[in-house]
Structure 1
Amino acid sequence: MQIELIEIRDHLSRFPPFDALPEETLDEIAQQVEVAYFKAGTDILIYGADIQDLHYVRSGAVEIYRRNGTLYNRLTEGDVFGQFGLRQHRVRYPAKAIEDSLLYFIPGALFEQLCDAHDSFADFVEAGGQSRLKSAVETQGKASELMKIKVRKLISRQPVTVALGCSVQEAARVMTENSVSSLIIVDPQANIADPERVLVAEQQTQVMAGIITDRDFRTRVVAEGLAPDTPVSQVMSPNPITMQADDSVFEAMLCMLRQNIHHLPVLQRRRPIGVINLSDIIKYESQSSLYLVNNIFNKQSVAELQALLPDLRATFVRMVSDEANAHMIGSAMSGIGRSLTQRLLELAEQQFGPPPVPYCFMALGSMARDEQLIVTDQDNALVLDNSFDPRVHDEYFLQLANFVSDGLAACGYSYCKGGIMASNPKWRQPLRVWRGYFNQWIEQPNPETLLNSCIFFDLDSVYGEAELAESLKDLLAEKASRSPLFLASLANNALNRTPPLGFFRTFVMETDGEQKNIINLKGRGTAPLTDLIRVHALACGSKAQNSQERLDAIAATKLLPQEAITRLRYTLEFLSIVRIRHQAMDVQEGREPDNYIEPEKFSATDRHNLKEAFQVLSNAQKFLRFRYPAQPLARPL
């Protein structure tokens, strides 16, 4: 048999329902298969068109749609489609390639023979539709499956490895022979000083030194014109980010979003057991956020990034339609915002040259907390290395900050009305100045510094030297917890925004000049709740940024009873998801999304739940006042 046919047969044999077929049957299928290539964005099947073949995804990714255009399923390597139209020879479910995809076409006549001769094959292709229909119908709680599915479920084979001294040519050959897009690089000569990188393979104990991917070969080998005998150690990524086997698929997705990586080594405790890549997660991640991030890093200008705004909104709406929870949506949208910022900074460095001194571009507020939604402005800052000399270096960083700020505004992240942006020279300072800011805000709280604390004490590195931002987190975690005056002042400040409940638990409505009887769900709901959670978290010395993770830290120190923490979790999720759904509805109906809801348009049950959530917030604020009694504030300097 020809090598090409052997490769087709072997690939089919790895995936159901073909893995249960006899070898001679697989040989027959391989001989009749036709191979077709489809570029990303290309239609594969059009509703009502003639169809004569079963389609098998060899590589890439394909989306299947209902006839009304809504997403039905997403398929990747080893999946089949088209079977439901074969008997009528008419396409029932349109299909489109969303990545460059290689497909095998298996003739319809052969498909019928396989169904007649092999019950397991027939059961699989017929039951597959039922299981997908069930998944589509049972949307309630569907998104939580991402949290339940463990990364280990995505592992289909042991990691493929090469030694540290291997040449790039040999490494490429091994990848080709094994049909993989990444290799684990091991150091057989190393002593096991770091047990977390131990790899057990072929009865030997080896040390994982790094990873190399097909992208690395393109960008670091071919693009740089390196010789074939170049050691793989020169182009690998050392000490790669990893996931534990019992981590969730959702956590893996967020890691890829946050770090912009496509391959994750998976560890069983300290031993790598495989590598998962983008396509492994696609079938579980139906919101396309990973694809959007991928597109962001392929864009070459602000105009191209700006053109992605409709995709960003579509991603948000799709996640809401799929009933993803607030934490998942906030994390995904924050990951997209980080990626846009990172790409803008890359483009800025391409235009203005490399930075004269090291720097860290910080996200503040909702992006730092992984709680960003579709309605947001930009809050950011620059922490510069202490070697920064404003007379020599500031012109560069002003240009960079303006480029990023203008780019974010073009992409839908409006300018901060309060000027909390790196383009403001006050928020573009060396680390020693930032440490001075933080010390002063904690030691001498006043109305102005408390406002800054509420913004700047939710911070995270987006780009550059992350250690600069981490040093500020360390300072904050250590000092705030030992400053009763600061905590009391911050708590008192958190009471300025109260939930919209009046006597007898009636809603207190607002007007904005155009609408009447509205509630600002952010200003009177999620924001004051976030503020009080922040106070408790700082009192615990926590470095967590996300509100749910801060509640975890609070629970660990038993500062609040478990029942109270549970109520806060419910309230945060409920208010957030109401706000999210409102914004999604605005987008779908062609309105500019906002945070203003009209309770009279809610059902009686939803209005009741709103009142319950606001009551939990009100009670939590009362405890905040009791836990951190007010003390006199310092006057502004």
Structure 2
Amino acid sequence: MVSRLFGKLEVSRHFTVGNDWAIAGVASVAAAPAAAPMDAFFRKSRRCILSPLELSGTSSLMAGNIFPETGRSGEMWKTLTPRFASARHKLQADRRPAKRARMNDELAEIRDFIADCPPFDRLEENELAKLTAKFVIRYLRRGASFPPPGQPALWLIRQGAIELRTPAGVLARRMGEGDRHDADCLANAPEAGWPGHAIEDTLLYGLPQKDLEILWQQHPALRQTAMHDLGQRLRQYQNQTPPAPERDLGSLPLAALIVRPPVFTQPATSIREAALLMTRERVSALLIVDQEKLCGIVTDRDLRRRCLAAGLPDSTPLASIMSANPCTLPPDATGFEALLEMTRRGIHHLPITLDGRPLGLISSTDLLRAQGVSSVYLADRIRRAGNLSELVSAADELPELWLNLARRGESPLILGHIVSTIADALACRLLHFAEVRLGPPPMPYAWIAYGSQGRKELTLHSDQDNALFLAEELSTPAATNYFAQLAQQVCDGLALCGFVHCPGEMMASNPQWRLTPSGWHALFTDWITHTDPQKARLASNLFDFRVIHGDAQRAESLRQLITNECPRHENLLAHLVHNGCSKPPPLGLFRQFVVASDGAHQGGLDIKRNGILPIVDLARIHALATGINEVSTLARLRGASASARPLLSRDGAENLIAAFEFLLGLRTRHQKEQLLRGLKADNFIVPATLTAAERQQLRDSFLVITTQQKALLLAHPQAPTQ
């Protein structure tokens, strides 16, 4: 109703276009009846003189334009101009001599409004004045569709309210006065394509896309504001994913698995007192503390083996029999990590500590009793495997476990962590088999994994990337032969367990990747100080290393070398930038996806190569450039943005994290569907099979990657070109 929105007005004509409407005519007849249908005013309209307005099915009309109707076009009509002086917008007719003053008043009111709306609140007064003239005005009746049809624009809500819903019909966003919507124009908001409607009569101001692009070119900081909003939208979309109804035990933090406070005592406590305490508390282990810090552990097995069997008197203090400085884990470690650590060390109890203070105690029995069929159950099968055949049989359950967890909605990041930890457990068991077969090693060593396993981001059917740290030079043929056989047996065993040999032979079975600490130090130093494209590619893989068996301290000096030296060598960073940022994601000129035109993957794009790995590369470069001692992609992004001299803003990091999680989620769903159909999992996503919202989200993620790639290329202009 005209009178409902604008108050008591005198109008002679009104016409409708779809659900949108505009006042047309003059105040020369009588007031429009309040109860009259609005489109009734359309019937005998001859000319319409409008304020700036876009109407569905017509071109843009500006104030003063004449909209002729066939017939009776010679009559003179007064100009009609909308006014927005208050919440109850008034519409008055005026004669042509006063029209310019009226329009100036309108522009001033638009200018005053947008001056308080981000990102326009950053503009100077003269810039605001110029920009105001570019805005169009649009009215939506309650229930009308949003965004308005026509050319894309950034929309500001002057008055009224808009609701956006997901394709599933869930309320995603409610916008009111001062809110903006830029999905259609910027193609960088997850809600693009989501249905919206006005929940009350609504007045909009719109800045057309072409004018917005010009504004961005003149003010790059405003584009950065839009990118900040993009990250918020990406994260909001991610948060709408329903939580998994039940998490796998292996992915739960240990803090959630502690069922009772720890039972502890002092080192001076006697064996007899300890036995009574354990009986009374019904526990199988005691934590020994000194000045509130954990210093040891005693189990019922220790009492039997070290006391009764040895004939010690019951007055013997626990300090004489306890396992001093036991292995511990923090409360945010997972149940899976706890069982793996128990497997590595041959123990059954693991204290949980924070800053040295005991919080609780986890046993292998606790873990296995809590959940029968889980990643913990599989890890225990691996731990108990007595030969290679049993180990391969256990590993064959990994795809089914992964599929069950994916169907339950487990996070892709957790899935990557679980697959990586299973691969760690397999390697540790294979090393045990090799040592049993070959005899004790001639020297200490450490087995490392790098690449996606090093980052704990491994997927099903990944190839293996591993190497050996040897304590000293291989001075005898026997020692050389020992580690050659050990590495070959482990690499072949991993291949039988589903982790195929690396096509580039970047494995411990290749003598090139079996070195002493000094050998690794010399190799990494050469890559850092005398970089070329090939060395940069090798560094990209091996710099993501993690010790999974043996003494981790043997690799600590190498980690410090990377952390301390990489930020100081621009040539290395330039080559890494060139390798990682020279190929942008597959978006065409008009942001359409560039997909395979033929072959087995026709219509698809490789989400790993074109989306996931570029973010991994960006995270690595930022971490190396800022001296961040982290390996996982998310930890690197957060660490780099929080460093003393960050090249990556916090918003930029959060945008990349949101994009990374979205892309991982797409791949996980795609691979889950393939496995359910009995197909081999791959990384090729077909955009045409995605929903409109998902396609927009994919564009957004690619846009985030492209923006950050360009930023790094600008920050390292000496990157070599080919």
SS in 2 for 1:211: strand
CA distances 1:387-443 after superposition (whole Å, capped 9, x unpaired): 432534110000100110011000000000000000001011111111111001011
Distance 1:328 1:183, change over 3 A: same
| C-alpha distance in structure 1 between counterparts of 2:676 and 2:396, whole Å | 11
Does 2:576 match 1:494? no
SS in 1 for 2:397: helix
Question: CA offset at residue 310 of structure 1?
Answer: 3.3
> Is 1:382 aligned to residue 483 of structure 2?
no
The Cα offsets for residues 279-326 of structure 1, whole Å up to 9 and x where unpaired, read as 666798797112211111100111111101332112211221222222
Query: What SS does the corresponding residue of 1:316 show, helix, strand or coil?
Result: helix
1:159–1:273 Cα contact (<8 Å) kept: no
1:184 aligns with 2:287: yes
Q: Kindly indicate whether residue 428 of structure 2 is the aligned counterpart of residue 428 of structure 1.
A: no
1:151 aligns with 2:255: yes
Counterpart position of 2:222 = none
The partner residue of 1:477 within 556, 559, 563 is 563
Q: 2:248·2:375 contact (CA, 8 Å) conserved in 1?
A: no
Given that residues 154 and 280 in structure 1 are in contact (C-alpha distance below 8 angstroms), is that contact kept between their aligned partners in structure 2?
A: no
Aligned counterpart in structure 1 of residue 632 of structure 2, from 546, 557, 569 = 546
Distance 2:480 2:426 in 1: 23
**Relative to structure 2, which stretch is displaced further, 562-571 or 383-392?**
383-392
Alpha carbons 1:489, 1:633 under 8 Å: kept: no
699, 704, 707: which is aligned to 1:616? 704
Counterparts of 1:305 and 1:428, CA distance in 2 = 25
Give the whole-Å Cα distance in 2 for the aligned partners of 1:143 and 1:630. 50
1:513 deviation in Å?
3.5
How do 1:553-572 and structure 2 match up within 5 A? 553-557=639-643, 558-572=646-660
Is structure 2 residue 291 aligned with structure 1 residue 198? yes
Distance across 1 between alignment mates of 2:585 and 2:612: 9
Alpha-carbon deviations, 1:182-208, whole Å to 9, x = none?
22134xxxxxxxxxx633xxxxxxx53
Instruction: Indicate conservation of the 8 Å contact 2:294/2:356, yes or no.
Output: no
Structure 2: distance between partners of 1:260 and 1:158: 18
Q: Which has the larger radius of gyration?
A: 2
> What is the CA–CA distance in structure 2 between the aligned matches of 1:450 and 1:234, rounded to whole Å?
53
> Which residue in 1 is equivalent to 2:185?
none
| Deviation (angstroms), 1:600 | 1.8
| Cα 1:621/1:175, change in 2 over 3 Å | same
Are the counterparts in 1 of residues 461 and 500 from structure 2 also a CA contact under 8 Å?
A: no
Counterparts of 1:393-432 in structure 2 under 5 Å? 393-432=479-518
- Residues 368 and 545 in structure 1, CA contact (< 8 A), matched pair in contact too: yes
Contact 2:254 2:334 in 1 (8 A): no
Asked whether the equivalents of residues 445 and 489 of structure 1 are also in contact (C-alpha less than 8 Å), the reply is: yes
Question: 8 Å contact 2:388–2:493 — kept in the other structure?
Answer: yes
1:180 aligned partner, one-letter code: V
Distance 2:721 2:476 in 1: 33
Match of 1:526 among 586, 608, 612: 612
Does residue 227 in structure 1 map to residue 315 in structure 2? no
Residues of 2 paired with 1:321 and 1:376: CA distance?
A: 20
Alignment of 1:580-619 (within 5 A): 580-619=668-707
SS in structure 1 of the partner of residue 458 of structure 2: coil
Q: Supply the distance in 1 between the matched residues of 2:257 and 2:387 (Cα, whole angstroms).
A: 39
RMSD of aligned alpha carbons: 3.2
> 1: CA distance between counterparts of 2:576 and 2:613?
14
Letter paired with 1:328? I
TM-score of the superposed pair, with normalisation by structure 1 = 0.68
1:215 Cα deviation after fit: 7.0
Taking the TM superposition and a 5 Å limit, the aligned residue runs for 1:347-358 are 347-358=433-444
State the alpha-carbon separation in 2 of the partners of residues 488 and 285 from structure 1. Answer: 49
User: What SS does the aligned partner of 2:287 have?
Assistant: strand
Distance 1:551 1:172 in 2: 50
Aligned partner of 1:337 in structure 2 is 423
| Structure 2 gaps, min length 5 | 1-240
Could you tell me how far apart the structure 1 residues matched to 2:375 and 2:630 are? 24
Instruction: Write the letter of the residue equivalent to 1:611.
Output: R
Task: Report the more deviating stretch, 560-569 or 324-333.
Answer: 324-333
Give the C-alpha shift of residue 170 in structure 1: 7.6
Q: 1:149 to 1:403 in 2, by over 3 A?
A: closer
- Structure 1 residues 228, 288: closer, same or farther in 2, change over 3 A? farther
Q: Is the 8 A contact 1:446 1:633 kept in 2?
A: no
What residue identity is the alignment partner of 2:626? C
Q: Residues 336-389 of structure 1: CA distance to partner in whole angstroms, max 9, x if unpaired?
A: 111111111111111111110111111010111011111311000011113432
SS at match of 2:489: helix
Tell me if 1:513 matches 2:560: no
2:613 and 2:540 map into 1 onto residues whose CA distance is: 10
For the residues of structure 1 that align with 2:303 and 2:484, how far apart are their CA atoms? 35
**Could you say if the C-alpha distance between residues 629 and 235 of structure 1 is closer, same or farther in structure 2, counting changes exceeding 3 Å?**
farther
* Cα separation, partners in 2 of 1:226 and 1:575, compared to 1, 3 Å: farther
User: Residue 213 of structure 1: CA displacement?
Assistant: 4.2
**Unmatched 5+ residue regions in structure 1?**
1-137, 187-196, 200-206
Q: Equivalents in 2 of 1:141, 1:367: separation in Å?
A: 25
The two structures have a TM-score, normalised by structure 2, of 0.60
Q: Aligned-pair distance for 1:630?
A: 2.7
* Identity within the alignment, %: 34
Are residues 469 and 164 of structure 1, via their aligned partners in 2, closer, same or farther at CA, if it must alter by over 3 Å? farther
Is the Cα contact below 8 Å between 2:454 and 2:546 reproduced in 1? yes
Q: Please name the residue that 1:45 is paired with.
A: none
Separation in structure 2 between the aligned mates of residue 587 and residue 221 of structure 1, nearest angstrom = 51
Q: Name the CA shift for 1:148/1:258 in 2 (closer, same or farther; >3 Å).
A: closer
Which string of whole-angstrom CA distances, capped at 9 and with x for unpartnered residues, describes residues 578-603 of structure 1? Answer: 11222222222211112122222222
Aligned partners of 1:235 and 1:506: how far apart in 2? 69
Q: Which has the higher helix share?
A: 1
Partners of 2:594 and 2:312 lie apart in 1 by: 73
Asked if 1:253 is matched to 2:253, the reply is no
Q: Is the 8 A contact 2:264 2:287 kept in 1?
A: yes
Q: What is the CA-CA distance between 1:221 and the residue it aligns to? A: 6.4
The alignment partner of 2:405 has SS state of helix
TM-fit CA distance, 1:150: 8.0
SS at match of 2:396: helix
Letter in 2 for 1:594: D
Tell me, in whole angstroms, the C-alpha distance in 2 between the residues paired with 1:217 and 1:336.
Answer: 33
Cα distance change of structure 1 residues 471 and 258 upon mapping to structure 2, 3 Å threshold? farther
Decide whether the 8 Å contact of 1:164 with 1:209 is kept in 2: no
Change (3 A) 1:580 1:465: same
3-state SS of 1:394 partner: helix
Are 2:709 and 1:626 equivalent residues in the alignment?
Answer: no
Matching residue's letter, 1:618 = T
Structure-2 change in CA distance of 1:212 and 1:350 (3 Å): farther
Alignment of 1:214-363 (within 5 A): 226-227=309-310, 229=312, 236-243=322-329, 247-248=331-332, 251-253=333-335, 255-260=337-342, 263-267=349-353, 270-278=356-364, 288-363=374-449
Equivalent-residue separation in structure 2 for 1:424 and 1:542 (angstroms): 30
Aligned residue type for 1:630: Q
Q: Is the 8 A contact 1:139 1:322 kept in 2?
A: no
Distance 1:529 1:420, change over 3 A: same
Question: For residues 415 and 442 of structure 1, what CA distance do their matches in structure 2 show?
Answer: 27
CA 1:499–1:281 in structure 2 vs 1: closer, same or farther (change >3 Å)? farther
The 1:213–1:373 alpha-carbon spacing in structure 2 relative to 1, beyond 3 Å, is farther
1:140 equivalent in structure 2: 243
> Is residue 339–residue 364 contact of structure 2 (8 Å, CA) maintained in 1?
no
